[in-house]
Chains A and B, each alone.
Chain A
Amino acid sequence: MMSIGTIDTLDALETHVADLELRIARQASHEAVERLQRAYAYYVDKGLWGAAADLFAEDGTWEWGQSGVYHGPARICAALALRGPERLATGELNNHYTCQPIITIAPDNMSAKARWRSDMQVCKDGAASWGEGTYENVYVNQDGVWKIASLHFYVTVLWDYDEGWVFGNLPMDGPSETLPPDAPPTEVYGSLPDVYLPAYHYPNPVTGAQPETAVLPELSADAPDQLAQRIEALATRITRVEDQRACEKLQRSYGFYVDKGMWNDVSDLFVDDSTLEIGGRGVFLGKKRVLEYMGIGLGPTGPQREQIINHQQFQGVVTVSDDGKTARGRWRAFVIGGSSWAPVNWGDCLYENHYKKVDGVWVMDKLHAPFTMYTLYKEGWHKTTTPNTRPESFPPPPDLAPTVVYLTYPNYYCEPFHYPNPVTGKIAPPPHPAAGGVAPMRAMPPGDA
């Protein structure tokens, strides 16, 4: 029996409010974990070893490549300081661009796990190098303060900047002799030319999805003071934030799977009426053809020795529709690609993707990825660029012709922005008629754009 102000009605309202409180607290934790790991990277960038070590729990652990494991903030600080003096010395560079987080907050909001990646630009003893790798970290919520419980960085590749990856791979250091670790490496592996797949802390976001929909008592619309309506409005807002995070996870997972040639997991992010269009290759219809595109066009399944195909997913602008059924995302991919048998190149790609929610799970609806630029590592983008691909560039052939024909850098193409200007609310005009040419781009009279 439900009636105004009865205990049953209030019980139901309180159950809903408690559920929303936990969901919002977990979203706040998501932000706190982002802050924690990004702060770590900013401190490490500048040799602020003490500040970085203070982000760890008392029993926290740190493991970097084959360094072995260090226990507790004091030992972690000492291990970090093997890289150079506090605040670095003139000429030293230790950039750790730390990106592409997949953060999973535990249902009770007391712990979290996350996969991240870092690009590292380094200069030591006058030698420039670059590296890239994956984190699988654990975090703990201690009395409302999030701390790093374990940081494990898996090195994918380190290279001599002048030579590039594949040509100039550098080995990982083993455990330090001057400061031996507290425990040996937990996993023994090599960086490029070797390959290794750090285990994912989370299942495939589509095939492994377990939508977290709590079973809640029905709310009576007659509850006092419009409480049921307020709860429903708030629940919708919280769901939209969760939707955005789910779309971010989907896109970032796509990148992590492509990195390692995990074509089945890539295609599982799509459904039977999804489409994929990358560069000028045309449109592929449905998840089966996505699998063919990847497996036939890009090589065998799984990470291959002497090969790297990093598709680093950065800078997502995700917009969820008001009804929560569809979303759009503009992203970039920073590509580190090549092998001992294929060109070694940097790639800079753009996405304007569509996502949709099917049975409570966000999936890839349309992946649309116009390249901006590809260049050979040995040359650089001022000397050599690879023109756009075409339907016949490599097999398999597409189902449909390209939806847009354009030329990559040094030419100019701007894929339209899916979102209106976040401040003015206006749709961006098309490019100036002279864009991409050599004629001067003179200011156009207002209204001409």
Chain B
Amino acid sequence: MSADRIAALKARLTHMENEALRREDYLAIIKLQRAYGFYMDKGYWREATDLFCEDASYEQGVDGVYVGRERIHEMIVKLTGGNSGPGLPFGQLHERFQLQPVITIADDGNTAQGRWHELSMFGQYGESAEWGDGVYENRYRKEDGVWKIASMRLYINFVAPYEGGWATLKSVEGDWRSPALADFPPDRPPTDVYRPYPDVHVPPFHFTHPVTGKAVA
């Protein structure tokens, strides 16, 4: 009798230890992405890219896919004005708010996916100020007990001038790749050639509908 009860207790404890790990994983993944944002804000490119797996990939807009942590680091430095950091030069604003996470951890607890909404404030004092809007669909991987970014996909929706905002934007015509990457081609072509706002683009959802369980597209 008590042997049965002890066996049942052990099974419940084992299940819960696994459940507790999921709760910790969830918070660790959110911390990882939010830490990325805080490093990017302050020009800490090396700290930001150290959050990626060695073989990670990064893709934003229609710039194509950059593979490997060092390539991602070089790409981010080029996209953000070319300084090595850590730090920003006088007059550069680079605020990247990491908001609204939906995190889905795989059953085996080794990988995860996350959707985030990014609101940005970009600027160069005396020259320009912009609002940025984008959605991330990222993948994460646990290596030796540590969550890392396995792939980052930023679907830029707009970068709009402060004056007039998004109402001033016109549909993009043809190639809208980042000029800063003109001499730094990607390792793979873009996975999705879309047009940003004012066109409507719905970044694919990694997660099924929380109530119906069906795919939303």
In the complex formed, the residue of A with least CB distance to B164 is A162
B89 near A237: Cβ-Cβ < 8 Å: no
- The B85-142 residues at the A interface (CB cut-off 8 A) are 85-93, 95, 97-103, 115, 117, 119, 121, 123-129, 131, 133, 135
Instruction: Name B2's contact: one of A7, A41, A161, A443 (CB within 8 Å).
Output: A7
Question: Is B42 engaged at the interface, CB distance under 8 Å to the other chain?
Answer: yes
Could you tell me the distance in whole angstroms from the C-beta of B38 to the nearest C-beta in chain A?
6
B50 near A35: Cβ-Cβ < 8 Å: no
Give the dominant DSSP class at B's interface: mixed
* Measured CA separation A153–B197 after assembly (Å): 26
Q: Which residues of A contact B67 (CB under 8 A)?
A: none
Indicate the member of B23, B91, B147 with the most A CB atoms within 10 Å: B23
A54 near B211: Cβ-Cβ < 8 Å: yes
* Measured CA separation A92–B157 after assembly (Å): 12
B129 near A147: Cβ-Cβ < 8 Å: no
Instruction: Name A315's contact: one of B22, B34, B115 (CB within 8 Å).
Output: B34
Could you tell me the distance in whole angstroms from the C-beta of A142 to the nearest C-beta in chain B?
9
Could you tell me the distance in whole angstroms from the C-beta of A448 to the nearest C-beta in chain B?
12
B38 near A417: Cβ-Cβ < 8 Å: yes
- The A23-47 residues at the B interface (CB cut-off 8 A) are 24, 27-28, 31-32, 34-36, 38-39, 41-43, 45-47
Contacts known (A95-B133, A231-B13); A238 close to B20, Cβ less than 8 A: yes
Q: Which residues of B contact A127 (CB under 8 A)?
A: 167
Question: Is B216 engaged at the interface, CB distance under 8 Å to the other chain?
Answer: yes
Question: Is B10 engaged at the interface, CB distance under 8 Å to the other chain?
Answer: yes
Q: Which residues of B contact A43 (CB under 8 A)?
A: 216
B167 near A161: Cβ-Cβ < 8 Å: yes
B19 near A89: Cβ-Cβ < 8 Å: no
A90 near B171: Cβ-Cβ < 8 Å: yes
Contacts known (A38-B100, A382-B162); A5 close to B2, Cβ less than 8 A: yes
B209 near A39: Cβ-Cβ < 8 Å: yes
Contacts known (A7-B2, A440-B83); A89 close to B205, Cβ less than 8 A: no
* Measured CA separation A382–B162 after assembly (Å): 9
Question: Is A360 engaged at the interface, CB distance under 8 Å to the other chain?
Answer: no
User: Of the 9-residue stretches B25-33, B57-65, B173-181, which lies at the interface with chain A?
Assistant: B25-33
Instruction: Name A42's contact: one of B17, B43, B88, B115 (CB within 8 Å).
Output: B115
A434 near B212: Cβ-Cβ < 8 Å: no
Instruction: Name A382's contact: one of B12, B19, B98, B126 (CB within 8 Å).
Output: B126
A241 near B10: Cβ-Cβ < 8 Å: no
B200 near A90: Cβ-Cβ < 8 Å: yes
Q: Which residues of B contact A45 (CB under 8 A)?
A: 117
A435 near B102: Cβ-Cβ < 8 Å: no
Indicate the member of B22, B97, B210 with the most A CB atoms within 10 Å: B210
A225 near B6: Cβ-Cβ < 8 Å: yes
Instruction: Name B13's contact: one of A91, A234, A432 (CB within 8 Å).
Output: A234
Question: Is A172 engaged at the interface, CB distance under 8 Å to the other chain?
Answer: no
Instruction: Name B20's contact: one of A14, A91, A237, A437 (CB within 8 Å).
Output: A237
Proximity bits, B152-175, A CB within 8 Å = 1, else 0: 000000000011111100010000
Could you tell me the distance in whole angstroms from the C-beta of A291 to the nearest C-beta in chain B?
30
* Measured CA separation A41–B102 after assembly (Å): 11
In the complex formed, the residue of A with least CB distance to B195 is A90
Question: Is A394 engaged at the interface, CB distance under 8 Å to the other chain?
Answer: no
Question: Is A373 engaged at the interface, CB distance under 8 Å to the other chain?
Answer: yes
Question: Is B146 engaged at the interface, CB distance under 8 Å to the other chain?
Answer: yes
* Measured CA separation A42–B203 after assembly (Å): 10
Contacts known (A55-B210, A55-B211, A91-B198); A441 close to B85, Cβ less than 8 A: yes
In the complex formed, the residue of A with least CB distance to B29 is A422
A90 near B199: Cβ-Cβ < 8 Å: yes
A87 near B10: Cβ-Cβ < 8 Å: no
Contacts known (A55-B211, A422-B32); A93 close to B197, Cβ less than 8 A: yes
User: Of the 9-residue stretches A175-183, A196-204, A263-271, A423-431, which lies at the interface with chain B?
Assistant: A423-431
Instruction: Name A429's contact: one of B86, B90, B164, B205 (CB within 8 Å).
Output: B86
Q: Which 8 A-B pairs have the closest CB atoms?
A: A435-B87, A431-B87, A410-B125, A128-B167, A382-B129, A380-B162, A441-B83, A443-B84
B: residues with CB less than 8 A from A are 2, 5-6, 9-10, 12-13, 16-17, 19-20, 22-24, 26-28, 31-32, 34-35, 37-39, 41-44, 47, 50-51, 83-93, 95, 97-103, 115, 117, 119, 121, 123-129, 131, 133, 135, 146-148, 162-167, 171, 197-200, 202, 205, 207, 209-212, 216
Task: Show 21 A/B contacts (Cβ-Cβ < 8 Å), sorted by A.
Answer: A17-B9, A46-B200, A48-B202, A54-B209, A90-B171, A95-B133, A97-B99, A128-B167, A227-B13, A372-B41, A373-B93, A381-B123, A381-B125, A382-B126, A382-B127, A410-B125, A428-B86, A434-B87, A435-B43, A435-B85, A435-B88
Further 17 A-B residue pairs, CB within 8 A, beyond A99-B100, A332-B95, A423-B148:
A31-B26, A39-B102, A42-B100, A42-B102, A42-B205, A45-B117, A97-B100, A97-B119, A162-B165, A227-B13, A317-B34, A334-B119, A348-B121, A414-B44, A421-B51, A428-B44, A441-B84
